Amino acid sequence: MTLEVNLKKAADYLARFAREGVPNQIGGKAEPAADGRTFETRAPVDGAVLAQVTRSGPADVDRAARAADAAFRDWAAWPGDKRRKLLHRIADAIEARAEEIALVEAMDTGQALRFMSKAALRGAENFRFFADLAPTARDGKTLRADGQINMTGRVPLGPVGIITPWNTPFMLSTWKIAPALAAGCTVVHKPAELSPLTARLLVEIAEGAGLPPGVWNLVNGTGEEAGRALTEHPLIRAVGFVGESATGSKIMAQGAPTLKRLHLELGGKNPVIVFADADLDRAADAALFMIYSLNGERCTSSSRLLVERSAYERFTARLAERAARIKVGHPLDPETVVGPLIDPGHATKVRSYLTRGKAEGAKLTGGSGEGCFVAPALFTGATNAMAIAQEEIFGPVLTAIPFDTEDEALSLANDVRYGLAAYIWTSDLTRALSLTDRIEAGMIWVNSENVRHLPTPFGGAKASGLGRDGGDWSFDFYMETRNVAFATGRHAIPKLGA
Ligand code: NAD
């Protein structure tokens, strides 16, 4: 496909949003906000308005929460196998519309089509994975004691709120919503205001595949209005959130009066530690991929590169050379790797770190660009105390720091408020094992970039989050575990007052 062909196709898919806007979906019906308000969503590539989006307030969120509550009892009673078949039908329908999803997502987020086409298929995979777990989601343990048999089991929690960010919004929405549905919960989804389009496609796909009305409701709007109202709503039993650490703190406070169960997947400043004995070719490929794919707007990006001093010059020179060859361009150009960042405000934030890093004394290569475009940037000669090494930039900016010993590498890796992911490159097995024991991160990859295996736990330590997704961990969040104890004999009961 050429850029021209993709532009034509994208225009066809986007025409309906330009015409009809992006309504909420409440109780199976497309609806505007009660007070009729809307906001614009724009294409990062040129700032063109793509659609008018419903700007929901507390009244709209209340209606969505009530719809989710009304649908809960019937949905929770669906047999697991019936739920499994329906979730597979949703996955089939996502696959059938993968091209539309990828093109719309690329235009709404600025992410390169080469990655977004895979994001749609990964979304389908998320549904299939949790579909197959649905029949056993309620299972538990049998625990015996003298004179007693205990049976644990799980029941779906109730209506839950899902709040998602603007980086890879389609994939992340499926990752959060599929397990909630498989568990038997009903959902109110509030997508990011900067990238609302594919969330609309997703709920339509699900209902088209046979999901009953009210099981999945969509409310669009800002975080402070719609998001806040969702986290404060008394009928919403839990909130699954993906976004910034500062927003996670706010959600904790907002959810406190109604004692919300929370799962927070937050920011990261993930170290990739490269020892001189590593396969440096593979380490370079992985480091480049994890910071410059998805525009660097990725929570598990390898944004801090720690390299053993003897290999530092060689390794960073190689990265700089490769980074300069990465194609920056229109997200629908099949050759593009780095597209425009999500919006002008975010591009300004990312650029401010380029200025700041230089002012702090690090050497910058790359990073040019106009508007929302920021070319791959590499800082060398940085120290861990610099803002570019401590703060989440969430763009294609890599900060490289040398180290001399394993202990120094470890202390640099841990000396940051975040603890989402870490990557270790070495051919020394004992060193790898020892480091994995001591690195403060929820997920560690050894001699690998981020390759997800869906049954494994996903989540962060420290300021990177609370709780885990993936496999059975997702069900622990979306379900209540209960214990039922049976007496197996006629044990003596204290006879008070006898
Ligand atoms: P954000 O926190 O600004 O927004 C995320 C969502 O929260 C949006 O839908 C927003 O409208 C909503 N929101 C904002 N304020 C709210 C409030 N007071 N109450 C309720 N909802 C509110 O994050 P972002 O800028 O959209 O996304 C980027 C961030 O997401 C980065 O920090 C990134 O690391 C993080 N992220 C984490 C993971 C992970 O799995 N750990 C994955 C992807 C992204």
What mean pLDDT is predicted for residues 212-233? 98
> What pLDDT, on a 0 to 100 scale, did the predictor assign at position 120?
86
Mean pLDDT of 470-487: 97
Amino acid at 359: A
Q: Assess whether 371 and 472 both reside in one domain.
A: no
Region of 150 please: left (phi>0), alpha (psi -120 to 50) or beta.
beta
- Residue 47 domain flag: yes
* Ligand 1, pocket residues at CB < 6 Å: 163-167, 172, 190, 192-193, 222-224, 227-228, 231, 242-244, 247, 250-251, 254, 265-268, 299, 392, 394, 420, 460, 464-465
Report CA(190)–ligand 1 centroid distance (Å): 11
Is the domain of 97 the same as that of 231? yes
Q: Return the pLDDT at 380.
A: 98
What CATH number is associated with residue 114?
3.40.605.10
Within-domain flag for 313: yes
Task: Give the largest CA-CA distance in the chain.
Answer: 89
The answer to whether 166 touches 194, Cβ cutoff 8 Å, is yes
CA 139 / ligand 1 centre spacing (Å): 33
Please give the sequence-ordered ranges of beta strands (E in DSSP) within 55-199, or none if there are none: 142-145, 148-156, 159-163, 186-190
Closest CA to 177 of 138, 212, 208, 131: 131
Q: What is the mean pLDDT of the chain?
A: 98
CA-closest candidate to residue 41, choices 231, 191, 230: 191
- Distance (Å, rounded) from C-alpha 294 to C-alpha 227? 25
* Nearest-angstrom CA–CA distance, 216 and 237: 15
Residue 458 lies in a domain: no
**Best residue among 61, 177, 242 to mutate for probing ligand 1, ranked by most atoms within 8 Å of CB:** 242
Instruction: Please indicate, yes or no, if residue 184 is contained in any of the structural domains.
Output: yes
Looking at ligand 1, which residue's alpha carbon is closest to its atom 19? 228
Query: Is the residue at 454 inside a domain?
Result: no
pLDDT of 332-350, one tens digit each?
999 999 999 999 999 999 9
> What residues contact residue 380 under an 8 Å CB cut-off, 6+ apart?
316, 320, 362, 363, 365, 400
Q: Is the pLDDT of residue 119 over 90?
A: no
Residue 1 has pLDDT above 90, yes or no: no
8 Å CB contact between 307 and 400 = yes
Closest ligand 1 atom to the C-alpha of 168? 43
Q: Give the closest residue (by CA) to ligand 1 atom 21.
A: 227
Q: Which phi-psi region, left, alpha or beta, contains residue 247 (left: φ > 0; alpha: ψ -120 to 50)?
A: alpha
Q: Express each pLDDT in 128-168 by its tens digit.
A: 999 999 999 999 999 999 999 999 999 999 999 999 999 99
Return the residue whose CA atom lies nearest to atom 20 of ligand 1.
227
Q: What is the mean pLDDT of residues 71-96?
A: 98
Distance 9 CA to ligand 1 centre (A): 30
Nearest-angstrom CA–CA distance, 174 and 425: 31
Closest-lying ligand 1 atom to the alpha carbon of residue 248: 2
**Catalytic residue annotation:** 265, 299
Q: Measure the CA–CA gap between 443 and 168, rounded to whole angstroms.
A: 19
Cβ atoms of 78 and 182 closer than 8 Å: no
Does residue 459 belong to any structural domain of this protein? no
Rounded CA gap, 202 and 208, in Å? 10
- What strands lie across the sheet with 148-156, from one edge to the other? 142-145, 148-156, 479-487
pLDDT tens-digit readout, 339-385:
999 999 999 999 999 999 999 999 999 999 999 999 999 999 999 99
Atom 10 of ligand 1, residue of closest alpha carbon: 223
Q: Which ligand 1 atom lies nearest to the CA of residue 265?
A: 41
Per the structure block, which two tokens stand in for 164?
């998602």
In Å, how far from its chain's centre is CA 16? 27
Our count of domains for the chain comes to 2
Atom number of ligand 1 nearest to Cα 460: 41
**146 lies in a domain?**
yes
The answer on 37 and 121 residing in a single domain is yes
- What percent of the chain stands above pLDDT 90? 99
Where in the sequence is the domain holding 400, given as residue range(s)?
Answer: 271-446
Q: How crowded is the C-beta side of 36, counted as CA atoms within 13 Å? A: 0
Distance CA 235, CA 249 (A): 21
